[in-house]
Structure 1
């Protein structure tokens, strides 16, 4: 899911071992250690069974130890995995398995199911009347301030890329720089390519390419290109970017005035991947012109969507008690997630910047190349400095917006040639996209009572682990059962490291949750249970971040299995599957000072996809579930999460005060 750094931003273990920065190669964990850690991870499920009169925990664990004692078949797989690593340029996981297994083999639409989304804060330079939707002098719904903000964001992102390429930032003189340089190489000029059975990734072109210095601009479902990078790699002056975007908007307005309607080819990227692969093959087969357009789309730096509206969800929120501000934030997030029926987008692109006509903006991207932490850093850079009016010829973009500039170079139409087959496919894809969007129960929670500072400094607990316990408590109170919990940890200590799973549902977290719902428990005992659960979670976080997790190792063992191999009891165990049904799929991002909200889709129709931003005095949650599931409710979970966080704070403070009084 969304890529994150869990609470332990762990770097000291490997950072100081060498004066010459070098990232270690991701190791394959020892087989016996993975088996023992797996047995520990399924213990809370056995405890649940025992609590319901279905078996004895120690007997069940011993039975599994006995069945796993003969590791001969597993050792064959281990040797194959070691051999795979020997033949891999960087590491066994990233080179061969992860992107393919986790993303590219998925045949489901990537809209909501795979793409991440990120809503950014407003620019202080934009007048309030524009933010309120009262801009004048619009062309076909596109406003002057919208174009100005888009120009500024594009210019800032190109500047970020330039500084990155020149190693002015994230230089490879540090281990963090080595990791980020590689990670960012998979953000820009990146696109997912549909193929039957398994997609591929088209990275930056290796030879000469004018497209790599361009962005793709979408307006009213029409595609355009705009050159935004000079020959020397510097950003094109922001005034010139604005001029080119204005020319594109003017052209789209003229076409609408002439009665033209674009065939929304971008909507095809929301379809089943095999269906999209067939349609793309057809689209490219009857016109070399389409092949040229697709090359520009693939190789372009990133995409920009200029939306001729300000999205509203007044009648679509799942929580009727939401304030006007909450409804507006959700509307902003929904547009970044999927727009109006997924129009004016190309979801295969690695990074797309979206700007509405009141200047609300955000980003979405394809998840397979890189986790969302990385592009979120680029987005932070883009908005940390607001629009500088001195960089433009006029401080007020509305003053001359309707004036036509002649002979604007550096931008052009990218008009697809389509036939009835493609037109029909677009209608079908939009119908399917509408159903996906209508089923997505997505909302933002800004929890403002306290944040990471109180948890860390007053309660003396890890903020990330604490939030994980709150999520599990909220789940239990709404579902009256437990579930496997996925939390993402980055393995950025390793060359081409990607992610590992933190199995957040533990014996200790289960005991804490049960203690919180047991009226007979005292606050001191509940706090003790919380502390133990947090300590266990921090240990798992450290293990995951330092290459000692179990899920990627188990995935690797399964990857090298052959149809003729004897079946092993580990893979037949019912808990093997149950312990990976991540109905709580979670990740923490950054402090999120510049983000209004984030999100990704749930992995299971009866689960939740939850991203969170823990700042010193606020915690922001992006929560997604499905309306079609009667067991889930984003509004209900938000309410339960607020209650959990408030109860945990009250309980912890009471316990600490009681301890202090005794001393």
Structure 2
């Protein structure tokens, strides 16, 4: 009888991120700057051919000279690297060297849909921390950690698939880690060993105080505690905080220091650590904890309805003046719940990209609170008696007058950042990815990127370099690459949409070419053939102290082609999210996160109120208009027809 093998399938291994070919990167770069040169010529600059020939000359000189040396050094670095060449410097250059505050500027945020299994009366305006708020916080933390555990056990997304390998490595970076401020360049904390008790805890913040809460049982291996037990422990710590508040105690808003400029926070953290060993204990416990849970106080905007309520919820997750001190912005993942049980998640960007926590959050949100897993379907009111300390620990800070003063000033600076943020959510519900893929046979992502090109031009009367995130997750320790959405083809289409002399069919043909060009760029970026990460590596291999220089890098256009006034990124369909967002990269630009679902598209848009040239509401209106105009265009024309004169418009 023939035996059947029962051996487990071997895990796959991901290929290394390639170092792109130098000549191909230069050729792709020259193509990417064509729309800028055409715009310069249109506005009185050098003729296109003259300006292009100059850049081509600099590219050739780079390819045959110092660029070849830089390429060889990059290849040598790759050979010496355990994972890939980019991993040597990406986190530092993209995130950790930034000195700007993490608040809005760097951290991402997600607003969750309400849990319909929570009674309506518990989702109404509440004056203070509530038992249902604690229950939803415990539930969400338990669900998120359940995903982590199942992934570790390979019950979800096993390592027999590329997605499983990428997701397991990426999700691991969400937990037990935090960004630590250091002079000039921050670092990431080292994950603790499994035997470290702090590794089995979460930390919660309530009324500005921090507490460590055990969420695993001390078995071998550690077992995730029942959600009822987690709720009990959190409740006990909350009661302690409430009694401290009632006794006239007040938390020093240390959380605001984490929202401050990074070098300022570096100095203040070092001062705190020198002030008391207790501060070192508190900081280590927070860094090494699994994740954060912020139980916020009441918001003054509960009475809002419709779009205003949606926007206020996103603001509450992003941060408001009322809750900015109830966060540790250095933490990679923080769940946030307010007294009406509105919830969301926010986090520090450097350990992993925002798509990763959004995948975890969606899995967590699929199941609402299961009352059968608790002692009672309705949580009882908080007891007024002294709470029984069931394993939780106060994570208090020892402070002096200097730190209190620093916190006051940090709150003022955080308020200025928050007040400056023009952040909004826009739900477009006329159609979604089903129509784009079904009726148009086109990539929804490319379609949405063309929406941004048209909307931006209509509001500004000009084009800009546009960043779209592409994941290089098919490679070992892959992170991201840039898709340069502003192309010669997208420019021609936008100008064609505003040219009254063109027929609708010609505009449709121009759109077809723009979508095709964007899809090609996306494929190149995802498969390790993008240009911006390669250029970063080449520049870092340059040795200016030895007299090495490159005219290509000194060109103003080289810098302008990387000045992302439109910074965009798409996540999942987002059916369980109300909205999402991140901050604009430039004060006169936009940060746009979008969720493209089968029947709708959600946009989270952020800009700065002080800039007279940008307006979140104006761009939102322009996006709606662009989406409507594009559907009208596509319904009125033949998608298979290609004009014989199309080349003259490119």
TM-score category of the 2 structures, normalised to the smaller one? over 0.9
User: C-alpha root-mean-square deviation of aligned residues, in Å?
Assistant: 1.7
Please point out which of 60, 71, 74 is paired with 2:51.
60
Instruction: Using the TM superposition, name which of 174-183 and 594-603 deviates more.
Output: 174-183
How many residues are treated as equivalent by the alignment?
628
Indicate how the Cα distance of structure 1 residues 113 and 284 shifts in structure 2: closer, same or farther if over 3 A, else same. Answer: same
Cα drift, residue 471 of structure 1: 0.6
Cα drift, residue 405 of structure 1: 8.0
Please point out which of 239, 243, 253 is paired with 1:250.
239
Instruction: Spell out, residue by residue over 1:112-165, the C-alpha distance to the aligned partner (whole angstroms, 9 max, x if none).
Output: 0000000011001112222221x5xx7xx1111111111111111121121122
SS in structure 1 opposite 2:626?
helix
Once residues 392 and 339 of structure 1 are traced to their aligned partners in structure 2, the CA distance between those partners, rounded to angstroms, is 32
Cα drift, residue 302 of structure 1: 0.2
Once residues 401 and 259 of structure 1 are traced to their aligned partners in structure 2, the CA distance between those partners, rounded to angstroms, is 19
Look up the match of 1:119: 111
Cα drift, residue 190 of structure 1: 1.1
Look up the match of 2:368: 386
* Residue 156 (structure 2) pairs with residue 169 (structure 1): yes
* Residue 370 (structure 2) pairs with residue 417 (structure 1): no
* Residue 590 (structure 2) pairs with residue 597 (structure 1): no
Look up the match of 1:566: 548
* Residue 633 (structure 2) pairs with residue 644 (structure 1): no
* Residue 141 (structure 2) pairs with residue 160 (structure 1): no
Instruction: Using the TM superposition, name which of 42-51 and 123-132 deviates more.
Output: 123-132
Instruction: Spell out, residue by residue over 1:53-74, the C-alpha distance to the aligned partner (whole angstroms, 9 max, x if none).
Output: 3222223222222232222111
* Residue 503 (structure 2) pairs with residue 526 (structure 1): no
* Residue 12 (structure 2) pairs with residue 21 (structure 1): yes
Indicate how the Cα distance of structure 1 residues 507 and 406 shifts in structure 2: closer, same or farther if over 3 A, else same. Answer: closer
* Residue 25 (structure 2) pairs with residue 34 (structure 1): yes
Indicate how the Cα distance of structure 1 residues 207 and 248 shifts in structure 2: closer, same or farther if over 3 A, else same. Answer: closer
Instruction: Spell out, residue by residue over 1:592-642, the C-alpha distance to the aligned partner (whole angstroms, 9 max, x if none).
Output: 011100000000000000010100100000000000000000001100110
Cα drift, residue 339 of structure 1: 3.2
Please point out which of 290, 294, 300 is paired with 1:305.
294
Cα drift, residue 357 of structure 1: 0.3
Cα drift, residue 659 of structure 1: 6.7
Once residues 386 and 658 of structure 1 are traced to their aligned partners in structure 2, the CA distance between those partners, rounded to angstroms, is 46
Gaps in structure 2 of 5+ consecutive residues: 1-8, 643-650
Once residues 145 and 208 of structure 1 are traced to their aligned partners in structure 2, the CA distance between those partners, rounded to angstroms, is 32
Instruction: Using the TM superposition, name which of 203-212 and 151-160 deviates more.
Output: 203-212
Instruction: Spell out, residue by residue over 1:167-187, the C-alpha distance to the aligned partner (whole angstroms, 9 max, x if none).
Output: 111221211111111111210
Asked whether the 8 Å contact 2:451–2:627 carries over to 1, the reply is: yes
Once residues 51 and 495 of structure 2 are traced to their aligned partners in structure 1, the CA distance between those partners, rounded to angstroms, is 22
Please point out which of 347, 358, 365 is paired with 2:329.
347
Please point out which of 69, 77, 81 is paired with 2:74.
81
Asked whether the 8 Å contact 2:321–2:414 carries over to 1, the reply is: no
Cα drift, residue 565 of structure 1: 3.5
SS in structure 2 opposite 1:466?
helix
Please point out which of 506, 511, 524 is paired with 2:492.
511
SS in structure 2 opposite 1:377?
helix
1:317-336 to structure 2, matched below 5 A, reads 324-336=305-317
Look up the match of 2:570: 588
Please point out which of 577, 580, 600 is paired with 2:559.
577
SS in structure 2 opposite 1:59?
helix
Once residues 89 and 407 of structure 1 are traced to their aligned partners in structure 2, the CA distance between those partners, rounded to angstroms, is 49
Look up the match of 2:480: 499
Look up the match of 1:131: 123
Instruction: Spell out, residue by residue over 1:100-120, the C-alpha distance to the aligned partner (whole angstroms, 9 max, x if none).
Output: 001000001010000000001
Asked whether the 8 Å contact 1:191–1:299 carries over to 2, the reply is: yes
Asked whether the 8 Å contact 1:153–1:383 carries over to 2, the reply is: yes
Look up the match of 2:645: none
Once residues 193 and 311 of structure 1 are traced to their aligned partners in structure 2, the CA distance between those partners, rounded to angstroms, is 33
Once residues 19 and 512 of structure 1 are traced to their aligned partners in structure 2, the CA distance between those partners, rounded to angstroms, is 49
Please point out which of 266, 271, 275 is paired with 2:260.
271
Look up the match of 1:103: 95
Structure 1 length as normaliser, TM-score?
Answer: 0.92
Once residues 352 and 19 of structure 1 are traced to their aligned partners in structure 2, the CA distance between those partners, rounded to angstroms, is 35
Look up the match of 1:318: none
Look up the match of 2:269: 280
Instruction: Using the TM superposition, name which of 492-501 and 158-167 deviates more.
Output: 158-167
Asked whether the 8 Å contact 2:509–2:641 carries over to 1, the reply is: no
Gaps in structure 1 of 5+ consecutive residues: 1-17, 315-322
Look up the match of 1:222: 209
Indicate how the Cα distance of structure 1 residues 610 and 593 shifts in structure 2: closer, same or farther if over 3 A, else same. Answer: same
Asked whether the 8 Å contact 2:466–2:486 carries over to 1, the reply is: yes
1:378-527 to structure 2, matched below 5 A, reads 378-397=360-379, 399-402=380-383, 404=385, 407-527=388-508
Indicate how the Cα distance of structure 1 residues 548 and 19 shifts in structure 2: closer, same or farther if over 3 A, else same. Answer: farther
Indicate how the Cα distance of structure 1 residues 432 and 20 shifts in structure 2: closer, same or farther if over 3 A, else same. Answer: closer
Indicate how the Cα distance of structure 1 residues 111 and 400 shifts in structure 2: closer, same or farther if over 3 A, else same. Answer: closer
Asked whether the 8 Å contact 1:158–1:228 carries over to 2, the reply is: no
Asked whether the 8 Å contact 2:11–2:159 carries over to 1, the reply is: no
1:133-152 to structure 2, matched below 5 A, reads 133=125, 141-152=128-139
Structure 2 length as normaliser, TM-score?
Answer: 0.94
Cα drift, residue 21 of structure 1: 1.7
